[in-house]
Amino acid sequence: MVTMASLRAARNRSGARPAAPPAWLVGAGVLIALLGLLPIGYLLVLAGSSEDAIPLLLRERTLGVLLRTLLLAATVTAASVLVGVPIAWLTSRSDLPARRAWTVLTILPLVVPSYVGGYAVVAAFGPRGALQSLLEPLGVARLPELYGFPGAALTLTLFSFPYVVLSVRGALATIDPAFEEVSRSLGRGPWRTFLGATLPQLRPAITGGALLVALYTLSDFGAVSLLQFDSFTRAIYVQYRASFDPTLAAVLALMLVACTAGVLIAESRLRGRARYHRSGGGATRRASVVRLGAWRWSAAAFCAAVVGLAVVVPVATILFWLGRGIGAGEPIDLVWGAAGNSVLASGLAAVLAVLASIPVAVLAVRHGGVIGATVERATYAGFALPGIVIGLAFVFVAARYVPSIYQTLPLLLVAYLVRFVPEAVGVTRGSLLQVSPRIEEVARTLGRRPGAVLRQVTLPIIRPGLIAGGALVFLTAMKELPTTILLAPTGFDTLAVRIWSATSEGFFARAAPPALLMVLVAAASLWFVLRLERER
Amino acid sequence: MPWSPPVTMAPMADTPDADSTPALRTLSLTKRFGEVVAVEEVSLEVRRGEFLGVLGPSGCGKTTLLRLVAGFERPDAGGIEIDGRVMTGPRRHLPPEERRVGMVFQESALFPHLDVAGNVGFGLPRRSRAARVAELVALVGLAGLQHRMPHELSGGQQQRVALARALAPDPALILLDEPFNSLDATLRSQLRVEVREILRSAGATTLFVTHDQGEALEISDRVAVMRAGRIEQLSTPSELYLRPVNRFVASFVGEANLLRGEVRHGEVMTLAGRFRAANGTLADGVRAEVLLRPEQLHMLPVARLSSPPRPESVLRIVRRVFHGSEVHHVLRSPEGVELEAATSSSATLEIGTEVIVHARAREVPVYPLPGDSAPAA
């Protein structure tokens, strides 16, 4: 029996590592992998070749940026947990009124780009914002100071707490209700049951969601720059604009990457362990609904307050300024040029990312081994790097080695490619896993070379997946800000850049039309992602 | 580029002795995965037009053997010839697309984006495609379904399309990898007879891998029984059943009673009588096992015997298993050894009945017990 089992294992292994991949496939994969590693590699070279790097690293100002960033990340994360865990529990386990509606509404903020959120917060509550202009007739001349830490923390919490909601809701759905029933039968009330039986099991999910929030906060550029809080991303941008010496910007960028890498490593460790906490096999019953009794309407008010700030206020603010702008004769058609640029750049990025994802996914899924795994991981580097870091690295590389492509569309597209290829690889990989390798083998026996099999069999079969991946990249690229700010050709305004620059300069009415379009794009991408997940 | 098949199905006669060249020959084929030897020193020949089954438990290396022949795996040693052409040998390894093999997998692996005609015509050059597709679709009994998509077909229909697709370019060799596994039992037995007929009428040479002994024995001309990467025996189904070369083949093919006994005067003494070895001679004192199939064992109720039997040869019926035309009786000896004896369904005995057994056969396969040539007591 032992030998048979081991032989079986051997056969299974053989299925996972067939003949060596064709050279052109490896070539394409390695090229894409190198591109993915280029930003971090170049920043390391840049910082490493400068004698100032270590002193810069330890300078008081640098450490100040580090502390501010960590403080912001910690605050936003804690606040998101405090808001997100109750909402997750209320929307999945209680008799909250209109539970379904809250479920969707509390996830919606996630897809609003942070600079649109920042715009909404500034244009609503900032000096000369909507609230003040409504209150002015009542004699209110000044609102509490918004810029800096409070505004940045508020904005980022409002638009990232759904990560915690999603993660905790997922865990609540898989926890076996038997634990809670046992606790109740042992004489504990609902509240003590939640604290004693449910919460401990939710800990991995809460930590997972919290780490995503932390990652989002660390990489965010839009909100912190609009709310003028000097965390890493804004400091990097300011430093880059202020001087042509790239060293300090590179050092700051590397420190930021170190922070995000730490979070990512913690997250992946946790994800590996989280499986432990799932309930065993068998049909899991639905947990019984907890009656909130007198608390029912307070709970609804809490949800309403959160949704009001994170969904209603942005939409109302955009509509308010849209009305003001139209009233004041602000030309709306200016937005179409930017929209056209957004569509052009994002569309090309989507096509490139999907094309690049094919060799990477084929290597990873069909050939595996050291090459496949390495290539796949290298492309995921783009996922771990904040947009500002990728943008900065390509600015430096282009300015130093190929000035002719600096501030051209191709360079922007290359940066987009590095940034978004992980998303495309994810989708392509998923569809490829659905295609039995036997189908490709049959095609080989019918006289096709590997390249022809890919063209005539594999790609036609996974075409829906490729289109989905392209659409996903398109929608994400539409929302991209920092890379675009750093690399877009002069005068090539996208919707994102238009919102950001108009808000920075206080032209709230001018930012409203592109912000509205962006919210629609965001809603489309949410709908799309949900549909994609349902199909899995 | 797809290679062009000849229009007719007649065997190619480009060499004078084409008919005597085996369709497939493997020579000492060996394949290792890490430390595990999946295929070890396998040498076999498949004659033209032959249907050769490869039978073995899962993990015995039979699928690896098939994949080596198809060219999906590269052997560590040994060679493969198809129609006398070297496919794999020292410094030579033809890719699958140049081997002229047709393959049918367990899951039909039809191209989901192509209809039946598109699937069957995939391996054909464009100009001769339409006529040949129509011919093949008719051959597998699916005329009229040419424009169905794979998901609109039943499991059995899918496998027939897969077969037509494999046959279309008139390959030198058809490889079947457990092609009936994903089907339910009734459909399975029906389809395997049909597939056998289709392949026979197409004059195809077939290598067929399965773990189901009934399937292998029913439709193969010859069967190779594999275990742990090696071929244990290659012979006709009846040879396999009647004269298995070792204990493994005996118990893997059909149901086997292996009765122990000691050799005296060239005969093995067992509780069912004395037997001569059909496969060699035996030295006295050796302990060995004789093979008796359930239908060879005859039961005699103790109650009907005129003189009392020796107590150690009395067996008790502990279980009956109904098989339709016959019934298998499971018998247990005083030492706890279980045997199976078959009778026709109309001549069964009650559970609990005490019986003795005997067999009419005098010469049966005998397997000496290893390391037991000189019993101590």
Q: What is the pLDDT of residues A125-180, one digit of tens each?
A: 888 788 878 887 777 767 777 889 999 999 999 999 999 998 898 888 877 777 77
DSSP letters of A100-166? HHHHHHTTGGGGS-HHHHHHHHHHHHSTTSHHHHHHGGGT---PPP-TTHHHHHHHHHHHHHHHHHH
In terms of CA atoms, which chain A residue is nearest residue B172? A445
A443 touches B at CB < 8 Å: yes
Quick check: B362 and B276 in contact, CB under 8 A? yes
Q: Nearest CA to A118 among A87, A160, A162, A85?
A: A160
Q: Which residue has the higher pLDDT, A232 or A137?
A: A232
Q: What is the pLDDT of residues B225-240, one digit of tens each?
A: 999 999 999 999 999 9
- CA A497 from chain centre, in angstroms, equals 18
DSSP letters of B300-365? EEGGG-SSPPPGGG-EEEEEEEE-SSEEEEEEE-TT--EEEEEEEGGG---TT-EEEEEES-SEE-
From A3's Cα to the closest Cα of chain B, the distance in A is 8
pLDDT the model gives residue B183: 84
The pLDDT of residue A38 is above 70: yes
From A447's Cα to the closest Cα of chain B, the distance in A is 4
Which among B38, B95, B103 has the least Cβ separation from residue A14?
A: B38
Instruction: Give residues with Cβ within 8 angstroms of A14, minimum separation 6.
Output: B33, B38, B64, B67, B73
Q: Which residue has the higher pLDDT, A530 or A388?
A: A388
The model's pTM: 0.79
Work out the pLDDT band at A287, boundaries 50, 70, 90: low
Q: How far apart are CA A63 and CA A74, in angstroms?
A: 16
Tokens of A197: 């039986």
Low-confidence stretches of chain B (pLDDT beneath 50): 1-16, 373-377
The one-letter code for the residue type at A248 is L
Instruction: Give residues with Cβ within 8 angstroms of B8, minimum separation 6.
Output: none
B273 touches A at CB < 8 Å: no
Enumerate the β-bridge partners of residue B81: B25, B86
* Bridge-based pairing state of the strands B354-359 and B315-322: antiparallel
Q: Which residue has the higher pLDDT, A184 or B360?
A: B360
- Phi/psi at B206 (5° precision): -130, 135
In terms of CA atoms, which chain A residue is nearest residue B59? A8
The pLDDT of residue A271 is above 70: no
Q: Which of residues 204-263 of B touch A (CB under 8 A)?
A: 228-229
Quick check: B302 and B356 in contact, CB under 8 A? yes
Q: How far apart are CA B228 and CA A3, in angstroms?
A: 8
A chain contacts of residue B133, beta-carbon cutoff 8 Å: none
A13 touches B at CB < 8 Å: yes
pLDDT, average across residues A270-286: 51
pLDDT, average across residues A348-369: 92
Q: Is B247 exposed, middle or buried (0-12, 13-18, 19+ CB in 10 A)?
A: middle
The one-letter code for the residue type at A472 is L
pLDDT the model gives residue B371: 63
Q: Locate all alpha helices (DSSP H) within chain B, ordered by sequence.
A: 62-70, 116-120, 129-139, 155-167, 185-201, 213-219, 237-242, 247-252
* Lowest-confidence region among A31-45, A119-133, A404-418: A119-133
In terms of CA atoms, which chain B residue is nearest residue A3? B228
In terms of CA atoms, which chain A residue is nearest residue B74? A19
pLDDT the model gives residue A356: 95
From B143's Cα to the closest Cα of chain A, the distance in A is 22
Q: What is the pLDDT of residues B96-150, one digit of tens each?
A: 999 999 999 988 789 999 999 999 999 999 888 999 999 999 999 999 999 999 9
B111 touches A at CB < 8 Å: yes
Q: Is B10 exposed, middle or buried (0-12, 13-18, 19+ CB in 10 A)?
A: exposed
Q: What's chain A's average pLDDT?
A: 85
Percent of all residues in chain A with a pLDDT value above 70, rounded to a whole number? 91
> What are the CA-CA distances from residue B105 to residues A386, B13, B81, B140, B177 (Å)?
46, 30, 22, 17, 5
Q: Which residue has the higher pLDDT, A226 or B371?
A: A226
A chain contacts of residue B71, beta-carbon cutoff 8 Å: 444
Which among A3, A436, A447 has the least Cβ separation from residue B3?
A: A447
pLDDT the model gives residue B6: 39
Tokens of A267: 């997250």
pLDDT the model gives residue A15: 42
B chain contacts of residue A443, beta-carbon cutoff 8 Å: 111, 122
On whether ipTM exceeds 0.95, the answer is no
Q: What is the pLDDT of residues A44-84, one digit of tens each?
A: 988 888 777 777 777 888 889 999 999 999 999 999 999 99
Work out the pLDDT band at A280, boundaries 50, 70, 90: very low
In terms of CA atoms, which chain B residue is nearest residue A464? B113
A434 touches B at CB < 8 Å: no
Q: Which of residues 455-514 of A touch B (CB under 8 A)?
A: 457, 460-461, 463
The pLDDT of residue A4 is above 60: no
From B123's Cα to the closest Cα of chain A, the distance in A is 5
pLDDT the model gives residue A535: 64
Contact B123 A9 (CB under 8 A): no
Which among A14, A19, A449 has the least Cβ separation from residue B33?
A: A14
Quick check: B171 and B102 in contact, CB under 8 A? yes
CB pairs < 8 Å spanning A and B: 107
* Bridge-based pairing state of the strands B257-264 and B267-270: antiparallel
Q: What is the pLDDT of residues A101-127, one digit of tens each?
A: 898 889 888 878 899 999 999 888 888
Which among B34, B122, B175 has the least Cβ separation from residue A446?
A: B122
Work out the pLDDT band at A349, boundaries 50, 70, 90: very high
